[in-house]
Chains A and B, each alone.
Chain A
């Protein structure tokens, strides 16, 4: 029951892999909430911790729930994904960079 494998490996998961992903996701979510609610870190430290926890949780979801992996039949999915991540990173970092500089130089704070 817990070891459902076919010729394509673990492309659609098993009860145990879903449970492992779920437990990891719950732990990471609770940690995110605790980091903010306990005020144990400085504001920048909290933001950095939140970013790390969110990144790890996204990776957990991609692996355990969306079943992304390195198998050859997923190559095109992965190429699309890498392109999208690069695109979104340029979009967000570029926007924040340009708008911060504009605000600084226009003195419109």
Chain B
């Protein structure tokens, strides 16, 4: 089924060219990737500097980690369903899927905050050892990104309410947020593999 939304403006070109907005956002994501790369490098260097404090093996639990991972993974596919609905111009469906994604992301951030509060209460805060400083910096940077994504999802939900069609400008916003959200899930794969599971071996 061909989409005719761009045909009236771009008759000379039957390809649906990616908007420069989306490409610009992709470049931003690549720089974000370098930030996370540096934080992973820091963690790799400091991962055994416990200073007599607790190790990852003693601190991390499978249950909470599995739940966080599941929430983020499911939120990826619900956002994907939202994008499919957006391409079909089904606005109420888009808002519904964005809402589901928002709740799953909120659950993830809530679990992470609870885990951090638990660690700090146990005396394993970021000031305890170099390992914990690197851990908190890396994981909370990811959590901060997810929180920004949540605000962005809410903003787009409000902007979509009461509209009857999705203009190209809105489609670009949804596509950028889609890239952002899936990118954060990729970062989380590296976090749960190298930060959590590798410390639990």
Q: Which residues of A contact B34 (CB under 8 A)?
A: 84, 87-88, 91
Residues of chain A contacted by B201 (CB below 8 angstroms) = 36, 43, 46-47
Instruction: Give the contacts of B61-76 with A (CB-CB under 8 A).
Output: 62, 66, 69, 73, 76
The residue that A62 contacts in the complex, of B3, B81, B186, B190, with Cβ under 8 A, is: B186
Point out residues on B near A: beta carbons under 8 Å.
1-3, 14-18, 23, 26-27, 30, 33-34, 37-38, 40-42, 44-45, 62, 66, 69, 73, 76-77, 80-81, 83-84, 87-88, 175, 179, 182-183, 185-186, 189-190, 192-194, 197-198, 200-201
Instruction: Report which of B2, B73, B84, B183 forms a contact with A66, defined as CB distance below 8 A.
Output: B183
Number of A-B residue pairs having CB atoms within 8 Å of each other in the complex:
123
**B contact face: mostly helix, strand, loop, or mixed:** helix
Tally of A interface residues using CB under 8 Å: 50
CB contacts (< 8 Å) of B197 on chain A: these are: 32-33, 35-36, 50
Q: A4-B88, A25-B73, A66-B183 are in contact. List 15 more A-B contacts (CB 8 A).
A: A6-B2, A7-B2, A7-B14, A12-B175, A13-B84, A22-B77, A29-B73, A32-B197, A47-B198, A54-B193, A58-B189, A77-B23, A84-B33, A87-B37, A95-B42
Q: Is the pair B185, A13 in contact by a Cβ cutoff of 8 Å? A: no
Residue numbers in A under 8 Å from B45 (CB-CB): 95-96, 99
Q: Which residues of chain B have C-beta atoms less than 8 A from A74's C-beta?
A: 18
